[in-house]
Amino acid sequence: MRVRPTLAIVDGSEPAFSFPLHVGRPNPGKRQRFFELANGMFDRNWLTNSGPLVEEFERRISAYVGVKHCVSTCNATVALELATRAADLHGEVIVPSFTFIATAHALQWQGITPVFCDIDPATHCLDPQRVEEMITPRTTGIIGVHLWGRSCDVEALTEISRRRNLTLVFDAAHAFGCSCKGKMVGGFGLAEVFSFHATKFFNTFEGGAVVTNDDALAERVRLMRNFGFAGYDKVIYIGTNGKMPEVSAAMGLSGMESLEEFIAVNRRNYDAYRSGLAGLPGVEIISYDEEDKYNFHYVVVEVDGNECGLERDSLLKVLHAENVLARRYFWPGCHRMEPYRSYFPHAGLLLPATERVSSRVLILPTGMTVDPGEIDIVCAIIRTALAQAGRVRGALVRSEQASVPLEVENAG
Ligand code: T4K
């Protein structure tokens, strides 16, 4: 196992990487295939508004996921807005706070109150027992988030939503290509929403989709996505512009051809991190159940400062100094961001697991642009930092005293 003799933050040595190692680097698919598809688009001179590439992309996604309908969109945030609006969610909707801010914003944007619910610290997803406690007469729905591609407790949430007459929707932004108890994510609840943003393991530049087995919901989402048009000059619904353009579908169709390769590389990288960090007390990489399919898009590590000698944020500073741009997704939780922080200043009292987990989680770089040799170096940095925890803490105190603002202080 590789060891790093020095650390940039302690010894002032050169960073381990001369280039930034990002989380969320886009995965390049087959470039030639993309250009072929894009050329066809120019030949047809049909760029958006349900062109043949978008239609083919939607067919391919529905078949892959095993759902009746895929309605592609310009991004997942708009897809969430469309799905929740078409599902007639209103009043209060229960969501985790430990998610990307878009989950909450998609509701608030429509005047729906996101009610933040705590997570199960073992899964990082909604804790069904806590969900039950957050239901009020104003509650109309639940949005579960399959965080990191690990599915929510779908069974328990489905049971609660049926018993309490609530609509269940899933934010599956992280979970394209993942399964839950053998069934692909996409077919649960009334609808699920995928993100195909550039930073996702499979991307359409920007993009998303609402997938559902409900014919009426799919029809409403389709209408809403295109201003409510039901034909030339005929508007029958309130709508917006949520369409995916042809060029995004071209990217998606070419990416589909490399999907299994993307997943295999992510899996290889995950395994490399797992063995590189094995045996480090207080640094635990989240695990995936061998019985299901995962995309391994996020390499998520939980840092217990008491056990390993360095708090998560100190380790983050060490890594950033080495040009390893790890991220603190989704610190500090939606409830501690505006406008929710002002609306619900005491929400944190009901979110102890969210507060604890979000202060410990670190996301490490992976994807097609990261190889096991680089992962070996990242793991070596972490090992050295923990072995020299006292020196790292000293260096950080000195840098704070000298008021050298570290980039990470302003992050999040
Ligand atoms: N629900 C959940 C649970 C989500 O996680 C998300 C999005 C959504 C809903 C909404 O989906 P979309 O509406 O976006 O389809 C990024 C993504 O922008 C966001 O899509 C994603 N989740 C979130 C987890 O990550 P940021 O604020 O971290 O993005 P940014 O600009 O800092 O980029 C991350 C890193 O990626 C950078 O360090 C550099 C690298 N990068 C990024 C881009 C765009 C590249 O190397 N190349 C690129 O082209 O949110």
> What DSSP string describes 235-254?
B-S---B-PPPHHHHHHHHH
What DSSP string runs through 71-111?
EEES-HHHHHHHHHHHTT--SEEEEESSS-HHHHHHHHTTT
- What distance in angstroms lies between residue 7's CA and the mean position of ligand 1's atoms? 29
Ligand 1 residue neighbourhood (C-beta within 6 Å): 22-26, 75-77, 99-100, 102-103, 145, 171, 173-174, 195, 197-199, 208, 325, 329
pLDDT confidence bin for 401, thresholds 50/70/90: confident
pLDDT the model gives residue 410: 44
DSSP for residue 28: P
pLDDT the model gives residue 5: 83
- What distance in angstroms lies between residue 100's CA and the mean position of ligand 1's atoms? 9
Angle, nearest 10°, between helix axes 31-44 and 246-256?
A: 150
Tens digits of residue pLDDT in 268-284? 999 999 999 999 999 99
Q: Which two tokens stand for residue 173?
A: 């932004």
Bridge partners (DSSP) listed for residue 114: 93
pLDDT the model gives residue 400: 83
pLDDT the model gives residue 399: 87
DSSP-derived 3-state class of residue 268:
helix
Looking from the CA of residue 106, the nearest atom of ligand 1 is 9
pLDDT the model gives residue 330: 96
C-beta of residue 260 within 8 angstroms of C-beta of residue 176: no
Over 80: is that where the pLDDT of 409 sits? Answer: no
Strands (E), 118-196: 139-145, 167-171, 179-180, 183-184, 191-195
C-beta of residue 191 within 8 angstroms of C-beta of residue 208: no
pLDDT confidence bin for 4, thresholds 50/70/90: confident
Contacts of 264 (CB under 8 A, 6+ apart): none
pLDDT the model gives residue 359: 97
Angle, nearest 10°, between helix axes 31-44 and 52-65?
A: 140
Burial 41-75 (b: 16+ CB within 10 A, else e): beeeeeebebbebbebbbebbbebbebebbbbbbb
pLDDT confidence bin for 412, thresholds 50/70/90: very low
> Residue type for 253, please?
L
Over 60: is that where the pLDDT of 259 sits? Answer: yes
Q: Please confirm whether the linkage preceding 245 is cis (ω < 30° from 0).
A: no
Tens digits of residue pLDDT in 324-362? 999 999 999 999 999 999 999 999 999 999 999 999 999
Over 50: is that where the pLDDT of 89 sits? Answer: yes
Looking from the CA of residue 80, the nearest atom of ligand 1 is 9
pLDDT confidence bin for 407, thresholds 50/70/90: low
pLDDT confidence bin for 403, thresholds 50/70/90: low
Angle, nearest 10°, between helix axes 215-225 and 76-86?
A: 120
Pocket of ligand 1, candidates 103, 197, 408: which has the most ligand atoms within 8 Å of its Cβ, to mutate? 197
Chain length of the chain: 412
pLDDT the model gives residue 411: 42
DSSP-derived 3-state class of residue 16:
coil
Q: Give CA–CA dist 377/269, Å, rounded.
A: 13
- What distance in angstroms lies between residue 195's CA and the mean position of ligand 1's atoms? 10
Calculate the dihedral angle through the C-alpha atoms of 101, 180, 299, 203, rounding to the nearest 10 degrees: -60
DSSP-derived 3-state class of residue 284:
strand
Contacts of 59 (CB under 8 A, 6+ apart): 70
Residue range 110-121: average pLDDT?
Answer: 98
Tens digits of residue pLDDT in 7-57? 999 999 999 999 999 999 999 889 999 999 999 999 999 999 999 999 999
Average pLDDT taken over every residue of the chain: 96
Tens digits of residue pLDDT in 199-245? 999 999 999 999 999 999 999 999 999 999 999 999 998 999 999 99
